Structure 1
Amino acid sequence: MNTFLLAALPLALLACSGNAPAEEVAAQASPAAPAGAKPFAETVVADFDSPWAMTFLPDGRMLVTEKQGTMLLVSKDGRQRRTVATIPVDAAGQGGLMDVVLAPDFATSKRVYFSYSASGQGGKGVILSRGLLDLAPGGERLREIEEIYRATPFVEGNGHYSGRIAFSPDGRYLFFTNGERQKFTPAQAKDQSLGKVLRLTPDGKPAAGNPLVARGFRPEVWSYGHRNLLGIAFDAQGNLWEQEMGPKGGDEVNLILPGRNYGWPNASNGSHYDGRDIPDHQRGDGYEAPKVSWNPVISPGGLMIYQGALFPQWKGDAFIGGLSSKALIRVDLNGTTATKGDQWGMGARIREVEQGPDGAIYVLEDGGESQGRLIRLSPRGGTAS
């Protein structure tokens, strides 16, 4: 890529506006998802203050994170909530309390993993921590909180933290996304975790056998050349899927393979915000191309791969929250291939998508201009209980 393409970001990209970073605000001009009948009924379960992520406990209760640092334990019907942790986060711009995921052995260990942005030496970065969830009635609390990994290096700025978490199907490995912090070149740098998918042990250490150590990369790196990785999930066949926010155009769904380079900032199906071109992905360019990309953008939020019985026609498909597109997006997954499916207008920025124990699909609005609601999606004509 020519040197001038790696010039400093335009001010419009560096600026952030509350919970809607400038790149997402710029994307508001893209066409909204078409209106029309949706194949699901919507039931509002609860309302939160700028929620970011959620996960279900085995008994149907939920953990919900809010941008300003509050982690809530919420009843199945959404009517009761208790603060189980207050995390000291740096919530400027795209920062805040981010993902939350149960350990694979949660039923016995009670361990919860979560990510957040913080200030430290050199600037700001994303941190991976864990704690033990005490569920004693009346005393529910996340205890013994410990930091187990932090992005390297911390840098100035308030964007592209990423911070999504996924455990491998066998429970042996933890995959953690580190965004390139709107700095471009870290995505290709061997000595940094930024712009990478990482494979760690459950204790936050680099997993043995990671594929890029012999090439001089940090030992935790699994794949590189990423921008802002806001969703990561395994399908039933063990394939690892990731979605990331592109620049002006070029939002992506990727099949994550060990050791591969996904191109950023040298290749993208989008352009810079000031109109400068970025070479598109092309066969033979040495970069792993996305399986699906969008231009105009959807501004993807959370990623979920549906495995329930309530919507059998969608089993195995990926669901993505749309921020600037204010939509819920479905992607058809077939083995290691993917194609665009449906895009339903939701009337609000969708930050998170999860499958409930009942097989329903749950979406979290982003807050800010929307209400931050948790909405249950069930088959139209079926029960909304």
Structure 2
Amino acid sequence: MADTLEAPYVDDSSFDGFARAQVAMVVTNPNLDDNPIVYVNQAFTRSTGYARSAVIGHNCRMLQGDDTDKAAVDRLRQGIEARQTVSVDILNYRANGQAFMNRLVVAPLFDTKGDVQYYVGIQKELGHDEQDASVDEINTQLLEIQDRVHSDLAMVIGMIRRQTTATSVPEEFAALTRRIETLQLLYEEMKLSDSQSNRDVIHMGSFVSRLACAIGHTCGRSGIRLNMQIEPLDVPIETATRVGLVVSELLTNAFQHAFDRIDTGLVEVRLSQLSAGGLRLIVSDDGIGIPSRMAWPDPATVGGRIVTGLIEGLEGTLQLGRGAAGSFVTIDVPAGASITE
């Protein structure tokens, strides 16, 4: 894995964030029997008609049918066996049996030892007017998207595995979807920035607000309120990637653990600009709090390793405070921090 991430900006008028675009994303794990699907985005479910629950744990060949070209399947299999990026046009079938043509790019995701941890597939459904379009032009668009996803997932997987080899496969998969969808919201903000001729930065206030609401909707429950005090500020794309993932880990931890056996509570997210530049992120709760005897972030957990790795990469600092009720985490990121791995 590279020491630094070279992640090109995606400039594709058909791309409006993986969560809504007609660019489907699939992640498979070759270390499990039959290389099953472990993640798909909403564009995939919308395009194929399959619910996530119907495809997770199955091989992608379930999309093939009687008229799928065997030569295309062979090229795809050979590329995967050779651990190389491969692009094919392949006839797939929706859940209702309707056939459609896909342009598919599949690439391996390696760990630091050179072993393949996942395969990432980006696919675009081809309309009748696109099936004769330039292969090079469409492949370039898909490869730009795939490069961005590949770099971001490589960063996450690298931090998951950095400090220990004891991580279990189920532990990784339990939060994989949430971490990828955190990145999806970032990609949507990237597109918004592009439309405003501001391609080098992300509107961090908008990104964090949407991310916090999404996590609150997914992880929250009745009686637990979410309050946000977020200033509008712009940050570089790579900084936004890491800060967004930190927000995701901290908020999820608060919703899942801070209110055990408590019916009501408050989670707060504050984002502000420091006087010398940079930003300050505070995530707090008024729940049971993190026990004083507990080391946090916990290096024995995936989330703990991710938070530690992200903050180190940002050259930032983390302070844990314990109040009369609950806990608060303060993270400062300096201006112009050089992103490191």
**TM-score interval for Structure 1 and Structure 2 normalised by the shorter chain:** under 0.3
TM-score, structure 2 as length reference? 0.26
TM-score, structure 1 as length reference? 0.24
Larger radius of gyration: 2
